[in-house]
Chain A
Amino acid sequence: MFWKIVSSGVIGNALEMRGWDAEYVIFHAGSGDTHLINHGAQFILQCLRIGMAETNQLVDQLAQHSGCEADDDLRTLTRETLLDLERLGVIEQHAK
């Protein structure tokens, strides 16, 4: 199962992002909603902007980015962040 950013249905970026001091605000064009997210969630969204990805791929990329082990704690944190973003309607699961 892959994760992807929910399409906005219009031409242009589905997501706009701006950040200051490791916190970010994002605008999702599809829903018109604005959300406050942390650095980890922002990094995941940056990865998904490039293309769909599985959870384990995102865990590995996060580990590389933050210079830490891809351990159980990181996997749990990544899964929770993905579920939070899904609840916000920003990302969705997709069977490739």
Chain B
Amino acid sequence: MILSDLTAQMSAQRLRTSGLHLRMGNIVVRIRSTLPAIIDGINTLYGDYPLARDEEFTDFHIELDRPRNLRGLVRPQVRFLLDGRAPFLPLPLPQAMPMFEWGLNWCITHHIHSYLMIHAAVVEKNGRAVMLPAPPGSGKSTLCAALVLRGWRLLSDELTLIDTTNGAVVPMPRPISLKNQSIDLIGSFSRDAVIGASVRDTVKGTVALMRPPAASVKNSLLTSTLRWIIFPQFLAESDASLTNIAKSRAFMRVADNAFNYGELGPTGFTVLADAIESATAHDFVYSKLEEAIDCFDRLESSP
């Protein structure tokens, strides 16, 4: 059973009371909230996600509510709770849905160390995955959104998870976070893009979340093999170009982008080295999304 099998009223009722247990790849998250932005956002963005049974082990119990303070009268806020405790300061109430996404990212990167976790988007086609490590502002999420709207499977737009026991790339598809001009760009790029409400004045500017394709969510237990590591950089008016990077240099750049490389010690080193061994690494500069997708498709069709 998936979330959209419930009526909007039923899902809202569960969110307000016992919580919704959603399966996201290999984890189960329980979400509770009475906030309209969360109820609307979850229904809009997570409709294809399987509902876990209430008695199943739940990795994270998350609640978003309004803190009871004087700010509630003037500039209301939203609070993120994990297992009943607030790991961060509250944010302005309109930022409730982005806060849920950022908070869940924090939960994953601080707790699930059975994976080497890299700050990178990852998409897949025909069993071969492309990892896109990049700092904020490089155009990673925009490129990721465009690729999945053109047939690539979304494994994640933010967290590449590599299983430390077997090196497999493990999916955890979630809504893709778009920022500022990218929101309209992706909205006009494809009619299939389902984008939630824009939220202004966040630390990242204006953000909006794009619903992941149903097929990506349906196949979220299907792991993949890393075949390419591509460091994207949006550069206005440039032609799409792919240049090779030495594997040793790619190793150091990916390690710099990893959340828990240090915590994993020699295991992290070995897992990353094995991943680098199996993949080729490239810098990628682009300015036009269709051109970028052509480049990726040509790469994927090569042996």
A residues lining the B interface (CB < 8 Å): 12-13, 16, 18-21, 23-25, 27, 29, 32, 34, 36
Contact = CB atoms under 8 A, between A and B. Distances in A.
B248 A34 contact: no
Given A34-B252, A34-B255, A23 B246 contact: yes
30 contacts: A12-B266, A13-B266, A16-B266, A16-B269, A16-B270, A18-B273, A18-B276, A18-B277, A19-B248, A20-B247, A20-B248, A20-B276, A20-B277, A21-B246, A21-B247, A21-B248, A23-B247, A24-B248, A25-B252, A25-B269, A25-B273, A27-B266, A27-B269, A32-B262, A32-B265, A34-B252, A34-B255, A34-B269, A36-B249, A36-B252
A34 to B, nearest CB: 6
B49 interface: no
A36 B277 CA distance: 16
Contacts of A16: 266, 269-270, 273
Given A23-B249, A25-B252, 20 more contacts: A16-B269, A16-B270, A18-B251, A18-B269, A20-B248, A20-B277, A21-B247, A21-B248, A23-B246, A23-B247, A23-B248, A24-B248, A25-B251, A25-B269, A25-B273, A27-B266, A27-B269, A29-B266, A34-B252, A36-B251
Contacts, number: 44
Dominant secondary structure of chain A at its interface with chain B:
strand
Q: How large is the interface on B (under 10, 10 to 19, 20 to 34, 35 or more residues)?
A: 10 to 19
Contacts of B246: 20-21, 23
A68 B269 CA distance: 34
**Which 10 pairs between the two chains have the least Cβ-Cβ distance?**
A23-B248, A20-B247, A27-B269, A18-B273, A25-B251, A36-B252, A16-B269, A20-B248, A25-B248, A16-B266
Q: Which of A16, A21, A27, A29 has the most CB of B within 10 A?
A: A27
Interface in B224-250: 246-249
A16 B267 CA distance: 10
A24 B269 CA distance: 12
Contacts of A12: 266
Residue from B252, B269, B277 whose CB has the most chain A CB atoms within 10 Å: B269
Contacts of B262: 32
Contacts of B277: 18, 20
Contacts of A18: 251, 269, 273, 276-277
Contacts of B265: 29, 32
Nearest to A26: B269
A36 B246 CA distance: 12
Nearest to B262: A32
A32 B265 CA distance: 6
Nearest to B261: A34
Interface in B251-303: 251-252, 255, 261-262, 265-266, 269-270, 273, 276-277
A32 B261 CA distance: 10
Nearest to A34: B255
A92 to B, nearest CB: 20
Contacts of B251: 18, 25, 36
A32 B269 CA distance: 10
A23 B252 CA distance: 12
